[in-house]
């Protein structure tokens, strides 16, 4: 493929930070964690809050997350973004920020997220319920939840069941994805779950929404993270090696899973194709994958839709451990949402780890020679897909 897109490598991620703990809990309020992440990511980049003229955030108790955060920081940004697409919000915001910087609408943008569902649940002040939206005036609350749809795992169970029916995918194949995640988390001292597991361990874990078992499902933890973007020109003079934004793409297909056009195909088919086209690269050029793993079936669908294996062949593809340490397609090298952390939305952590892999900063879990990383967020119930391709070189 030949890259001709004018937005290719015009911008870069130059600073990253994340906060997690093996206990699954963090001290501090959501706002204090956001500020901490912004400061750490800016320090990582060699910048200060005075350099920031763009803010992206999607979580706030009020009506305008990015505005309220900017006010708290004491800055008057030229550009803000409060886009909320669930777990893919941060990949979408990176796409928007990269376009804004390339267009001269901002120079330094911070994208940030923090949530404390585990701590809040223990305090009795929140957490995530299994029947979200029962009383809310939403389409899902009216048309899906009353019929026993356990959310969110019920929606993913529908996709897994359909994939099994159409293509012969097995629970054992899905379980291997969880096993591979632990080969990475076992090397990560900050991961929530570090003990190695087997396929039999996954199959023996309690059923949550058939065919998905407990170890097919992501964690519920506290967590926070941030990334800093600027122009490629400015990035060359900063503290850390830049991770150039080579390509991006976004596609949304539905809100309710009952309206998903095809339970076995996601919008990643479109978002991935757009990102590859902009980058001038293909799946074979990607050295390390950071894929949203809300559930094991999410990973399998994304591998197919992003072109790493043909549609319907995800089961046999993952069965040989290709995603784990030493595999041909190393993925989710922190341990992912299945084993590292998952504070409701995991997309920011995909970006942070992708950048660290390209910098060679990951120690025992480092993928040798990683030059191209793909971070892909999935929001809602397989609803909103966003792909970001990063590289160590602006041209290739």
Active site residues: 292, 340
**Using CA atoms, how far apart are residues 155 and 167, in angstroms rounded to an integer?**
19
Contact between 253 and 245 (Cβ < 8 Å):
no
The number of beta carbons lying within 10 Å of the beta carbon of residue 318 is 28
**Residue 250 β-bridge partners:** 386
Sorted by sequence, the CB contacts under 8 Å of residue 103 that are 6+ apart come out as: none
**What tokens were used for 195?**
């003990």
Strands 372-379, 223-231: parallel, antiparallel or unpaired by DSSP? unpaired
DSSP for 308-331, written as a single string: SS-TT-HHHHHHT-TTSTTSSS-B
Give Cα separations from 273 to 157, 247, 306 (angstroms): 26, 10, 7
What is the C-alpha separation between 371 and 390, in angstroms, rounded?
Answer: 8
* Residue 354 contacts residue 374 (beta carbons within 8 Å): yes
Paired with 224 in beta bridges are: 19, 114
CA distance 182 to 325: 9
3-state class (DSSP) for residue 291: strand
Q: Which residues contact 73 (CB under 8 A, 6 or more apart)?
A: 35, 38, 49, 52, 55
Bridge pairing between strands 223-231 and 108-115? antiparallel
The answer to whether 25 and 237 are in contact (CB under 8 A) is: no
Contact 193, 335 (CB under 8 A): yes
> Which ranges constitute the DSSP H helices of 74-152?
89-102, 117-123, 139-143
Which residue is it, tokens 């850390």?
Answer: 240
């Amino acid at each position: 493929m030949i890259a001709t897109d004018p937005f290719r490598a015009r911008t870069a991620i130059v600073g990253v930070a994340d906060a997690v703990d093996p206990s699954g809990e963090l001290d501090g309020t959501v706002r204090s964690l956001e500020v901490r992440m912004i400061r750490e990511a800016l320090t990582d980049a060699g910048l200060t809050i005075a350099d920031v003229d763009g803010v992206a955030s999607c979580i706030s108790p009020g009506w305008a997350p990015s505005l309220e955060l900017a006010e708290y920081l004491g800055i008057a940004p030229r550009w803000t973004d409060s886009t909320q697409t669930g777990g893919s919000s941060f990949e979408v915001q990176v796409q928007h920020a990269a376009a804004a910087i390339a267009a001269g609408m901002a120079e330094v943008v911070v994208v940030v997220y923090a949530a404390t569902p585990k701590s809040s649940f223990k305090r009795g002040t929140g957490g995530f319920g299994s029947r979200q939206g029962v009383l809310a005036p939403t389409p899902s609350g009216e048309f899906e939840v009353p019929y026993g749809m356990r959310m969110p795992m019920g929606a993913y169970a529908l996709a897994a069941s359909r994939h099994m029916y159409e293509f012969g995918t097995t629970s054992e194949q899905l379980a291997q994805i969880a096993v591979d995640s632990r080969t990475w988390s076992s090397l990560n001292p900050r991961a929530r779950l570090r003990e190695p597991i087997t396929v039999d361990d996954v199959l023996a874990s309690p059923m949550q929404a058939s065919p998905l078992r407990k170890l097919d499902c992501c964690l519920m933890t506290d967590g926070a993270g941030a990334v800093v973007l600027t122009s490629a020109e400015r990035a060359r003079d900063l503290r850390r090696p830049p991770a150039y934004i080579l390509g991006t793409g976004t596609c949304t297909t539905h809100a309710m899973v009952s309206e998903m056009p095809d339970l076995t195909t996601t919008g990643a088919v479109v978002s991935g194709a757009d990102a590859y086209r902009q980058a001038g690269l293909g799946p074979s050029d990607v050295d390390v994958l950071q894929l949203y793993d809300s559930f094991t079936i999410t990973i399998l669908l994304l591998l197919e839709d992003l072109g790493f294996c043909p549609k319907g062949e995800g089961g046999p593809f993952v069965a040989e451990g290709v995603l784990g340490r030493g595999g041909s397609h190393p993925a989710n090298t922190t341990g992912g949402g299945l084993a590292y952390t998952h504070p409701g939305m995991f997309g920011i952590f995909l970006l942070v780890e992708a950048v660290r892999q390209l910098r060679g900063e990951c120690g025992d879990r480092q993928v040798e020679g990683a030059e191209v990383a793909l971070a892909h967020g999935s929001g809602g119930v397989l609803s909103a897909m966003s792909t970001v391709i990063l590289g160590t070189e602006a041209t290739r």
